[in-house]
Amino acid sequence: MSRPLASLLAALLLAAAPAAAVELTAEEAVRRALALSPDLARAEQEVALRAAVVGQARGLFDGAILADARVDYGVEELVGRRLKAEVDRRLRLEIPPPILDDIARQLMERLPTDASFFLPSSCLDATSFIVLGGTSTVVCVNDDGNVLGLLDPSISLDPSLPSTIALSQAFAGLDGIDERVQVFIDLLRNSAADQMRLAALILRKTADSLRFQRQRLGEVPDDRESIRLNAGVDYRIPFRSGVALVSSLSVASSEENFRGKRLDPTWGDSPIANQFQAAAGVALDLPLGRGGGRDSFAAPLAAAEHDLA
């Protein structure tokens, strides 16, 4: 017999031989029987499902956070009242400077030779009065823009003495009576002239300041843009009694700008100030159903626990 044929017969004899018996303990036999039982597997799956339902029902009483945020952005053409307000805003800075410069020039051309320029009667025909900031000087101007006089510049030699103008009026017409009186009158006139020079300087500086402000504003804007931001967060804590405690926090902001301008009103941006608001609150959700809401709200959990038992 050839060697390959002998090997094949040996393999067939080994395969046909009965398998050796395996000894099992009672515990192992029970375990294998339970593991292979389809009824037991279905029962275990049903118990696991009911336990999951109980966990899901208990989740109804977990705290919950609700957060939301919204941003609105819009661009619209500047028209109507807003456009007129921006035009007027620039005109208020364009019109006064030439007038103030002309009044300052007239003051310098009319330095007093007597006290008549400071008499109250010189302002009877005035239609406009300019109060110089930081002083009590009032410049009287008529419809043609001519300076008529000054009211009470209040240049005092001493707090207890009358004003320079009052003294000038008292000595008006006494020129030449006495050399010392004349010197005193000249001193008063020079003081009044200094007051007029100061008034002219204030007017010129005011005109320059207005021109500078107008230059910074630039041209009238064409469009305005608005940005609105709203954000909030709520935290809700439910209880098995049906009551729920809700705390909330919200913030909001609004901003309006002119396109093409710096974010500064002095540089031509919108004069409307940005607004920022924040609010916080607490609310109590109290059901008014049967049992104060306890029966209906806790029903899913009670049913799930009953099925699991």
Contact between residue 84 and residue 116 where contact means Cβ atoms under 8 Å apart: no
Per the structure, the complete domain to which residue 267 belongs is given by: 54-78+221-308
Whether 309 shows a pLDDT value over 80: the answer reads no
Whole-angstrom Cα distance, residue 220 to residue 90?
Answer: 8
Task: Please state the length of the chain.
Answer: 309
Based on the fold, state whether residues 129 and 257 are members of the same structural domain. Answer: no
- Report how many domains make up the chain: 2
Based on the fold, state whether residues 241 and 200 are members of the same structural domain. Answer: no
Choose between 20 and 149: higher pLDDT: 149
Query: Is residue 30 one of the residues assigned to a domain?
Result: no
Query: Is residue 33 one of the residues assigned to a domain?
Result: no
Question: Which pLDDT does position 195 carry in this prediction?
Answer: 77
Task: Give tens-digit pLDDT for 19-28.
Answer: 445 566 767 7
- CA 114-119-120 angle, to 5 degrees, is 170
Question: Which pLDDT does position 13 carry in this prediction?
Answer: 47
Based on the fold, state whether residues 143 and 192 are members of the same structural domain. Answer: yes
Whole-angstrom Cα distance, residue 221 to residue 225?
Answer: 11
Question: Which pLDDT does position 8 carry in this prediction?
Answer: 44
Choose between 39 and 167: higher pLDDT: 39
Based on the fold, state whether residues 89 and 69 are members of the same structural domain. Answer: no
Whole-angstrom Cα distance, residue 271 to residue 205?
Answer: 25
Task: Give tens-digit pLDDT for 170-187.
Answer: 555 555 556 666 666 667
Q: What are the CA-CA distances from residue 276 to residues 98, 104, 164, 280, 293 (Å)? A: 41, 46, 54, 14, 39
Query: Is residue 202 one of the residues assigned to a domain?
Result: yes
**Residue 56: φ, ψ to 5°:** -65, -40
Choose between 153 and 101: higher pLDDT: 101
Task: Give tens-digit pLDDT for 217-253.
Answer: 999 999 999 999 999 999 988 877 778 889 999 999 9
Choose between 128 and 280: higher pLDDT: 280
Whether 1 shows a pLDDT value over 50: the answer reads no
Question: Which pLDDT does position 213 carry in this prediction?
Answer: 94
Query: Is residue 287 one of the residues assigned to a domain?
Result: yes
CA 194, distance to chain mean position in Å, is 49
Single-letter amino acid code for the residue at 307: D
Task: Give tens-digit pLDDT for 26-69.
Answer: 677 667 766 676 776 677 777 777 777 666 666 667 778 899 99
Q: Assign 134 a pLDDT band (cuts: 50, 70, 90).
A: low
Whether 258 shows a pLDDT value over 50: the answer reads yes
Q: Assign 294 a pLDDT band (cuts: 50, 70, 90).
A: low
Based on the fold, state whether residues 199 and 273 are members of the same structural domain. Answer: no
Residue 157 exposure: Cα atoms within 13 Å on the Cβ side: 12
Q: Assign 83 a pLDDT band (cuts: 50, 70, 90).
A: very high
